[in-house]
Amino acid sequence: MSEDQYQDYDEASDGLESIMLERRMAYIRQVSIEEVSTMFPEAPEIPDDQELWALLDIQGQPIALASSQSAAKLSAMRHDIETVSVH
């Protein structure tokens, strides 16, 4: 691939991200206690056996933390955020 083709790909990727941000899309995934302290530094101390789920924007930035997948999805719905699958 030439350098010009890479630039076109980058511009297309940026355009897709802009569209997805406008549509307020995010994904949900289970997170560890260690990840929580990095993603949510203001979070209180959490028991080691607590199951945790994070709602993340398409760039991986944390939006919300929940104790179940359904609670994270409900949080997204309350804020008009569409959740998408990530494989």
Q: Is residue 43 part of a domain?
A: yes
Q: Is residue 68 part of a domain?
A: yes
pLDDT at 19: 47
The pLDDT tens digits of the residues spanning 14-70 come to 544 554 555 688 999 999 999 998 998 888 888 888 999 999 998 889 999 999 999
Domain that holds residue 31: 24-83
Q: Is residue 6 part of a domain?
A: no
Q: Is residue 9 part of a domain?
A: no
Q: Is residue 17 part of a domain?
A: no
Q: Is 10 helix (H, G, I), strand (E, B) or coil?
A: helix
Residue 24 CB partners (closer than 8 Å, separation 6+)? 79, 80, 81, 82
How many folded domains does the chain comprise? 1
| DSSP element (H, E) containing 15 | helix 3-22
